[in-house]
A and B are shown apart, each in its own frame.
Chain A
Amino acid sequence: DAGITQSPRHKVTETGTPVTLRCHQTENHRYMYWYRQDPGHGLRLIHYSYGVKDTDKGEVSDGYSVSRSKTEDFLLTLESATSSQTSVYFCAIQDRASSGNTIYFGEGSWLTVV
């Protein structure tokens, strides 16, 4: 258990509405990540953070923004949700105290855009 909590765990929203997913960690990890999971694609990196207010884009960042105002929270925002953003979203942390800087994942947030 890497102390990662995602909220909400399940959400249905309408096209065009803003949505924010929250990732909370309790172990003061510097690196945090947001991935999305879609069938056949595995997980793809949306954005990541390497410290408070330090974020960067991943391979599928279009339509998403992130913020990290404090170490423990990493927020993912869909400014105007589209049906193509229906997916499962996973937050992850990097445990730099572990060998190989292991990445641990939260339980996921299921988002449906109708």
Chain B
Amino acid sequence: AQSVTQPDIHITVSEGASLELRCNYSYGATPYLFWYVQSPGQGLQLLLKYFSGDTLVQGIKGFEAEFKRSQSSFNLRKPSVHWSDAAEYFCAVGFKAAGNKLTFGGGTRVLVKP
């Protein structure tokens, strides 16, 4: 069965600094890859997705992610963090052949220092 690992449970970053969240998955085929963000008490909002083509994808709120097949990774980045980026971030993997049932990582909580 596929699995998704987000190695960092918590990350603290200063406002204006860069941010990188790590995501690794295990599966033989090339998956669909997603990053979602969740603010406290809210649902999940889609930040960006990769399904084919250019391995560097741009998302909303200034986020981008890069798919590296050789490393089975899909890391999320933002050049300059804003206080409003404090939230929990989830990486997810899906496969068309499996009805796109998503497997999620455990999440990374981002704290932003003033």
Task: Categorize the interface residue count of chain A.
Answer: 20 to 34
Residues in A neighbouring B106, C-beta threshold 8 A = 40-42
- B101 on the A face (CB < 8 A): yes
Given contacts A58-B101, A94-B100, contact A102 B46 (CB under 8 A): yes
In the complex, the answer to whether A102 meets B34 with C-beta atoms within 8 Å is yes
A102–B51 CA distance with the chains assembled, in angstroms: 10
In the complex, the answer to whether B43 meets A107 with C-beta atoms within 8 Å is yes
Residues in A neighbouring B42, C-beta threshold 8 A = 107-108
In the complex, the answer to whether A99 meets B104 with C-beta atoms within 8 Å is no
In the complex, the answer to whether A103 meets B94 with C-beta atoms within 8 Å is yes
In the complex, the answer to whether B44 meets A90 with C-beta atoms within 8 Å is yes
A99–B50 CA distance with the chains assembled, in angstroms: 9
Residues in B neighbouring A40, C-beta threshold 8 A = 9, 106-107
A-contact 0/1 string along B49-61, CB 8 Å cutoff: 1111000000000
A43–B106 CA distance with the chains assembled, in angstroms: 8
In the complex, the answer to whether B102 meets A45 with C-beta atoms within 8 Å is yes
- From residue B105, how far is it (CB to closest CB) to chain A in Å? 5
In the complex, the answer to whether B104 meets A43 with C-beta atoms within 8 Å is yes
- B25 on the A face (CB < 8 A): no
A-contact 0/1 string along B82-114, CB 8 Å cutoff: 000000001010101001111111110000000
- From residue B11, how far is it (CB to closest CB) to chain A in Å? 15
25 examples of A-B residue contacts, CB within 8 angstroms: A31-B100, A35-B104, A40-B106, A40-B107, A42-B90, A42-B92, A43-B44, A45-B102, A50-B99, A58-B101, A99-B49, A100-B32, A100-B49, A100-B50, A100-B52, A100-B94, A101-B51, A101-B100, A103-B92, A103-B94, A103-B100, A105-B36, A107-B43, A108-B42, A108-B43
Residues of chain A having any CB pair with chain B under 8 Å: 31, 33, 35, 40-45, 48, 50, 58, 90, 92, 94, 99-108
Besides A42-B106, A48-B99, A102-B34, 15 new A-B residue pairs in contact (Cβ under 8 A), listed by A number: A31-B100, A35-B104, A42-B92, A43-B102, A44-B104, A45-B102, A58-B101, A94-B99, A99-B51, A101-B32, A103-B92, A103-B100, A103-B102, A108-B42, A108-B43
